[in-house]
Amino acid sequence: MSEVRAALLIAAEAHLARRPWSAVRMGEVAASAGVSRQTLYNEFGSKEGLARALARQAADGYLAGIERALARSAADPRERLRAAADWTVAAARPGTLLRSLLTGCWGDPLPAPRPARTTATAPAQRRAELPLPGPGAVSYTPLRAHETAAK
């Protein structure tokens, strides 16, 4: 991820923490990140693109955390399930965006993801309009008890 994109996402998260999504202004996000509003639009295409990028970042962070929790847990499936559940609770508690992604409960303060439009011509906008990863997109493959014993 480029430094500009990361700075814009951090700035958008900070603004979202202080006010509802409908009150977050693209110009303010750009100014907070130290870039022009045009740079923000070049990167995300629209406010909807920025919302999708925020949701994708939250989902990617959650899935990476699940993978770390599973990698640190024992081979016992119950322990792995417990580790995943513990991570989910710990990660969702402070993160309203992640909590909304996990539960599907969206409110005015949060940018509910909308279906992507396929009319994007700018590469950055096409990237921002990719659908959120679904359960089948996780690269995690569980090890069976007989596979771990062989290692």
Please report, for the domain that includes residue 72, its CATH number. 1.10.357.10
- Whether residue 77 lies inside any domain: the answer is yes
- Whether residue 50 lies inside any domain: the answer is yes
Q: Where do we find the tokens 């089948």?
A: 136
Domain of residue 85: give its range: 3-108+122-134
- Whether residue 66 lies inside any domain: the answer is yes
Predicted pLDDT of residue 37: 95
Predicted pLDDT of residue 18: 86
More confident residue, 143 or 67: 67
Structural domain tally of the chain?
A: 1
pLDDT tens by residue, 26-61: 999 999 999 999 999 999 999 989 988 998 888 898
For the chain, what is the mean pLDDT? 78
Predicted pLDDT of residue 21: 85
Average pLDDT value for residue range 73-77: 84
Using pLDDT thresholds of 50, 70 and 90, give the confidence band for residue 16: confident
- What are the contacts of 142-151 at 24+ separation with CB within 8 A? 142/70, 142/77, 142/80, 143/75, 145/75, 148/75
Planar angle of CA 40, 108, 99, nearest 5 degrees:
85
More confident residue, 32 or 17: 32
